Amino acid sequence: MDIYKNSVHSAGNTTVSVARGSKADVLVVRGENPGFSGQVIDGEFIAPENHENAVVLRRVFPFTAPVPVLTRKRSFGVGDRLGIASYGHIRVFRKYDAAPVLAQQSIRELTLTHRDFDNVLDCASYAVFREDWQGGFGADGDHLKTDKEVEYALSCGYTMITLDCSEHIRNDVEDMPTEQLKKEYTPNAELEARYKDKSFKVENHEIHFTAEELMRCALIYGGAIEHADRIFHSYIKGKPVDFELSIDETATPTTPTQHFFVANELSLRHVELATVAPRFCGEFQKGIDYIGDLKQFESEMAVHAAVARRFGYKLSIHSGSDKLSVFPIIGRLTLGNFHVKTAGTNWLEAMRVTAETDPKLYREVHAYALVAFHEAKKYYHVTTNLNNIPALDTLTDAQLPELFTQNDARQLIHITYGLILSAKDENGNSLYRDRLYANWREHDELYAKRLEQHIGRHLELLYSQIPQD
Ligand code: ZN
């Protein structure tokens, strides 16, 4: 039996390790069985890596259970949509001290990948066990919008809740003429006493509220503040759970003044925030570098970071995949206190492995993605131009991996992941999913190496300008 060398762990009279099975890893249980279900094969008790056994594993080996990690100086979320990436991710976190959030998935991602919160967490737990990662990891129910979604993630033991307030944020106010603003705004003596014509000093920045700015803040964010207040006090308060406020999925960027307003209001309501994800200026499109004015980004980031420090939380940077040009700025201005989330780039690295190792399968998937693109585009804001992608029949097999250096090709594969993974033939059999998983299983060492390099590059840049103290 092929036992992974870091996977042997003992607790009491039990020793559990992980063996490489032909199709999937399995647990090997020796000594007393604390409750794993399985069967004896050739004199060994073999337990499959299913949900039931993951629950037992987390009970017997507590380091395989998630913990709140956002209170640590810096943290990094790696959404593993496929359930196979943590093995590579763990290698990165052995080199950098950012606390990993290995399980991180939104409801949209769960739907598109046909997974559930249990499965996402189980995959992380099994990886942590096999690789002997004892540094702790978080589990983030990402972009949750409703009470039901928050309750669902908490019931699965998630240690971080990212509350997406986008449905409570008004997108029609930013450009509203003053006259109409006045009509829409309900006078609020308390708010006016707090903000109207007042300035706040935040480190060496000054944040000023004109009467008009206050009306805009109240109209845009009033609903989101109510929502966050209610969710926090109903579900999070007093629990070992990190609470993140996400206001990034909006039509317009969050100005530093608006960020201050939201933070100050929530602080007055005793909402304890681990992180806030504003929407920054410029564009954080999926799977490609930052698009926008770096100077403006830098000057606004300086204020956002100062506001976060003032209220005692970390800035959270969403859609962090491949934003290589802004990472040094983020590391420097947050003084190394940040939370960054990536997801799609881990899937892209998996597809790059397929392009390298099974060109025939890659060509099929790519051709399907070109057809599926218009359907997928409904759910994402991307500026992909399919005409910029070289036609498949002009590329040799050896050139296929180079597609992943081209932004349009990256976004094509990025946003179609759900359709690719769920595509079925007329008999209901998966068109690509099973073959892709078999390919990734066969080349799992290559995939782990690629993630180590690629996510490592993200952290290297984030760390590159952190001021020494
Ligand atoms: Zn987001």
Mean pLDDT, residues 171-200: 95
In the predicted model, is pLDDT for residue 469 greater than 80? no
Compute, in angstroms, the gap from residue 156 CA to the centroid of ligand 1: 21
Rounded distance between C-alpha atoms, residue 165 and residue 77, angstroms: 20
Active site residues: 142, 244
Compute, in angstroms, the gap from residue 397 CA to the centroid of ligand 1: 35
**Strand 160-164 and strand 198-202: pairing?**
unpaired
Compute, in angstroms, the gap from residue 119 CA to the centroid of ligand 1: 22
In the predicted model, is pLDDT for residue 456 greater than 90? yes
Rounded distance between C-alpha atoms, residue 191 and residue 216, angstroms: 12
Q: 3-state SS string over the chain?
A: CCECHHHCEEECCEEEEEEECCCCEEEEEEECCCCCCCEEECCEEEEECCHHHHHHHHHHCHHHCCCCCCCCCCEEEECCCCCCCHHHHHHHHHHCCCEEEEEEEEHHHHHHHCCCHHHHHHHHHHHHHHHCCCCCCEEEEEEECCHHHHHHHHHCCCCEEEEECHHHCCCCCCCCCHHHHHHHCCCCHHHHHHHCCEEEEECCEEEEECHHHHHHHHHHHHHHHHHHHHHHHHHHCCCCCEEEEECCCCCCCCCHHHHHHHHHHHHHCCCCCCEEECCCCCECCCCCCCECCHHHHHHHHHHHHHHHHHHCCEEEECCCCCCCCCHHHHHHHCCCCEEEEECHHHHHHHHHHHHHHCHHHHHHHHHHHHHHHHHHHHHCCCCCCHHHCCCHHHCCHHHHHHHHHCHHHHHHHHHCHHHHHHCECCCCCECCHHHHHHHHHHCHHHHHHHHHHHHHHHHHHHHCCCCCC
Rounded distance between C-alpha atoms, residue 252 and residue 241, angstroms: 29
Give yes or no for a contact between 85 and 123, defined as CB atoms under 8 angstroms apart.
no
Rounded distance between C-alpha atoms, residue 354 and residue 5, angstroms: 27
Mean pLDDT, residues 56-71: 98
Could you tell me which residues come within 8 angstroms of residue 297 by beta carbon, excluding any fewer than 6 positions away? 280, 281, 282, 290, 326, 329
Percent of the chain with pLDDT over 90: 96
In the predicted model, is pLDDT for residue 381 greater than 90? no
Q: What per-residue confidence (pLDDT) applies to 164?
A: 97
Domain boundaries, the chain: 2-60, 64-176+181-345, 352-452
Mean pLDDT, residues 381-404: 95
Compute, in angstroms, the gap from residue 338 CA to the centroid of ligand 1: 15
379 — pLDDT class (breaks 50, 70, 90):
confident
Q: What per-residue confidence (pLDDT) applies to 468?
A: 86
Mean pLDDT, residues 146-158: 98
Compute, in angstroms, the gap from residue 276 CA to the centroid of ligand 1: 10
State pLDDT tens for residues 306-316.
999 999 999 99
**Strand 75-78 and strand 338-342: pairing?**
parallel
The CATH class of 64-176+181-345 is alpha beta
Compute, in angstroms, the gap from residue 123 CA to the centroid of ligand 1: 23
State pLDDT tens for residues 434-447.
999 999 999 999 99
Compute, in angstroms, the gap from residue 143 CA to the centroid of ligand 1: 7
Q: What per-residue confidence (pLDDT) applies to 286?
A: 87
Give yes or no for a contact between 298 and 435, defined as CB atoms under 8 angstroms apart.
no
Give yes or no for a contact between 83 and 115, defined as CB atoms under 8 angstroms apart.
yes
Compute, in angstroms, the gap from residue 106 CA to the centroid of ligand 1: 9
Percent of the chain with pLDDT over 70: 100
380 — pLDDT class (breaks 50, 70, 90):
confident
Average per-residue pLDDT for the chain:
96
Compute, in angstroms, the gap from residue 199 CA to the centroid of ligand 1: 30
Q: What per-residue confidence (pLDDT) applies to 127?
A: 98
Q: What per-residue confidence (pLDDT) applies to 122?
A: 98
Compute, in angstroms, the gap from residue 315 CA to the centroid of ligand 1: 12
Compute, in angstroms, the gap from residue 246 CA to the centroid of ligand 1: 6
